[in-house]
Chain A
Amino acid sequence: MELLTPNIGLVFWMSLAFLVVLFVLRKFAWSGIISALKEREDFIERSLKSAEEAKALMSSLKAENENLLAEARAEREAILKEAKEMKEKILADAKLTASEEGNRMIAAARGEIEKEKNQALSDIKKQVGEISLEIAERVIKKELSDKGAQEALVEKHLSAAQSN
């Protein structure tokens, strides 16, 4: 049947045209297209990969930052706590020193007072002695107007002093 009989002329032209198209396209189109497609796909893949890496880097950086922040916060807390303690210690120390100083000053004052008091007492004693002596002198002057009485008194005092 004619439908199933290939025509030699058509076979010739078909082979010629198809092979020309095949070789021309292979040389000038397909190689460029295929390599360009591949290049672009590689590029896209690389970009996606690097984006993924950047994302991972970002998240690790973020975690690091958070760590740093937490560390800083802890440090601040510690410093604050230390400062507080220091303040308290200084206050306590100051209080202690102040009270000690006070005590010392009180003690010194007390000593001074004692000294003053003793001084005053001794002064008073001296004055009392002088006054007594004066009185005694006057008394004695009056009593010892005669010689016999004087001697008797000296005798009496001497004996008293010797017995002491």
Chain B
Amino acid sequence: MNNTKATFLALALVILTSFSSFASGGHDNHGEAEKFVPGDVIIHHVLDNHEIHIGNFHIPLPIILWDNGKLVGPFSSSNLSHGNSYLGYVMDHEKIYYADETGSKVILGYDEKTKEPIHSKPLDFSITKSVVGIFITSILMLLMFFAVSKGYKKRAGQAPKGIQSALEPLIVFVRDEVAKPSIGKKYEKFMPYLLTVFFFIWIANLLGLIPFIGGFNVTGNIAVALVLAFITFLITAFSGNKDYWLHIFWTPGVPVWLKATGLMILIEFIGFVSKPIVLTLRLFANITAGHIIILSFVSLIFIFNNMYGAGGGFGVSLVSVIFSIFMFCIELLVAFLQAYVFTLLSALYFGSAVEEHAHEH
């Protein structure tokens, strides 16, 4: 009974916030920029942000700065909204500069050529929207897998139950379809990382697909993808055995002149370094592209609204909504697929690092 009530309440809330969100979105775009520029709006939504928008509510997030060896903050990002300065810092397009001015509506000095502000930029360690997304994902993972682990302890040797039975097929999938065939006998050493990275990417991807909670784009942020790929790279490098390094620096079965001139080493080294880059770009590009496509379909409504009035907007909205729903379904698939691909490629790299060559080739 309680569950049904709670579900209805949640549904009602979602519907209410969605209406207000659309209404406010339209007003904001008209009010601030006079004309609707879809590219800017989309990029703004895809990029990181110093506040979270849920409907009409703007949740300010803490700002932490590292300015020449000095920690500044944390202070609320609401202090920097609408061009206001705080402790001499000013925010412009989500970037924070030290303007050394106080007051509201600070006008920044711009460079003529690069069109970038000329002020010094402290390192931004703020808890941004993406950092919140990372924390939510982390906490969800800890809660989920502590519960799963407890289930295994409580019902040792018995059939799984609840969240344990929901996640067990995925854990077994990562073990049997990803780790075992790609790595071989030594797969167990890499299981904790592979499971963590798989579930982290998957949950973060799904978090980005939940509408009306601020539009998280965690895995679609290049920094997040880069960190994950770099950890894969480090594990590969540190678990590489003699054969692995021999293949990179003195590839067997290749003419000596190729090896001696360093050409082979160059090629192998490019392969070695390009792996994490490819991992980064694949994850980042896939997730960001999905968000951009969905946002583009939504933007179409506003574009047609501006061009042909409310009738045009309404007509296009029917098509747009259908396409958006279709894209959401695809994105659900992509969310899983990218987690799988990232884990699989990581496992393949680990596999090549620990592989034992019985024969020279």
B223 touches A14 (CB 8 A): yes
Q: Is A111 an interface residue (CB 8 A)?
A: no
Q: Is B52 an interface residue (CB 8 A)?
A: no
A7 touches B145 (CB 8 A): no
Q: Is A33 an interface residue (CB 8 A)?
A: yes
B135 touches A10 (CB 8 A): no
B191 touches A32 (CB 8 A): no
Closest to A34 in B: B191
Chain B 312-327 interface 0/1 with A at a Cβ cutoff of 8 Å (1 = within): 0000000000000000
B interface, over-half SS: helix
Partner of A10, one of B137, B175, B224, B288: B224
A interface, over-half SS: helix
A2 touches B227 (CB 8 A): no
Chain A 33-47 interface 0/1 with B at a Cβ cutoff of 8 Å (1 = within): 110110110010000
A14 touches B227 (CB 8 A): yes
A3 touches B145 (CB 8 A): no
Partner of B149, one of A2, A4, A28, A39: A28
Q: Is B248 an interface residue (CB 8 A)?
A: no
Q: Is A5 an interface residue (CB 8 A)?
A: yes
Q: Is A103 an interface residue (CB 8 A)?
A: no
B141 touches A3 (CB 8 A): no
Q: Which residues of B contact A74 (CB under 8 A)?
A: none
Q: Is A17 an interface residue (CB 8 A)?
A: yes
A29 touches B124 (CB 8 A): no
Chain B 326-360 interface 0/1 with A at a Cβ cutoff of 8 Å (1 = within): 00000000000000000000000000000000000
Q: Which of B16-24, B152-160, B257-265, B267-275 contacts A (4 or more CB under 8 A)?
A: B152-160
Q: Which of B27-35, B77-85, B192-200, B301-309 contacts A (4 or more CB under 8 A)?
A: B192-200
Closest to B149 in A: A29
Q: Which of A18-26, A53-61, A86-94 contacts B (4 or more CB under 8 A)?
A: A18-26
Closest to B196 in A: A22
A34 touches B157 (CB 8 A): no
Chain A 76-103 interface 0/1 with B at a Cβ cutoff of 8 Å (1 = within): 0000000000000000000000000000
Q: Is B210 an interface residue (CB 8 A)?
A: no
Given A10-B128, A17-B134, A18-B200, are A25 and B224 also a contact pair (CB < 8 Å)? no
Q: Is B166 an interface residue (CB 8 A)?
A: no
Q: Which residues of B contact A14 (CB under 8 A)?
A: 131, 134, 223-224, 227-228
Partner of B200, one of A6, A21, A28: A21
Interface residues on A, range: 35 or more
B192 touches A26 (CB 8 A): yes
Given A26-B192, A28-B149, are A7 and B288 also a contact pair (CB < 8 Å)? no
Chain B: interface residue total (CB-CB under 8 A): 48
* Complex-state Cα separation, A43 to B158, whole angstroms: 10
Q: Is B126 an interface residue (CB 8 A)?
A: yes
Give min CB distance, B295 to chain A, whole Å: 13
B191 touches A5 (CB 8 A): no
Closest to A26 in B: B192
Partner of A20, one of B138, B148, B221, B288: B138
Chain B 15-57 interface 0/1 with A at a Cβ cutoff of 8 Å (1 = within): 0000000000000000000000000000100111000000000
B192 touches A8 (CB 8 A): no
Q: Is A148 an interface residue (CB 8 A)?
A: no
Give min CB distance, B21 to chain A, whole Å: 24
Given A10-B131, A39-B157, are A25 and B125 also a contact pair (CB < 8 Å)? no
Q: Is A15 an interface residue (CB 8 A)?
A: yes
* Complex-state Cα separation, A24 to B139, whole angstroms: 11
Closest to B171 in A: A33
Closest to A15 in B: B227
* Complex-state Cα separation, A18 to B193, whole angstroms: 10
Partner of A39, one of B46, B156, B188: B156
Q: Is B245 an interface residue (CB 8 A)?
A: no
Q: Is B231 an interface residue (CB 8 A)?
A: yes
Please provide the 8 A-B residue pairs with the shortest distance between their CB atoms, ordered closest to farther: A36-B152, A6-B223, A26-B192, A10-B223, A9-B125, A29-B145, A29-B149, A30-B192
Can you list 15 pairs linking A and B with CB atoms under 8 Å apart? A3-B288, A6-B223, A7-B48, A9-B64, A10-B223, A14-B227, A17-B135, A19-B231, A21-B142, A24-B142, A29-B145, A29-B146, A34-B171, A36-B152, A37-B168
4 further contact pairs, Cβ within 8 A, besides A33-B171, A37-B175 = A6-B221, A13-B125, A18-B200, A18-B228
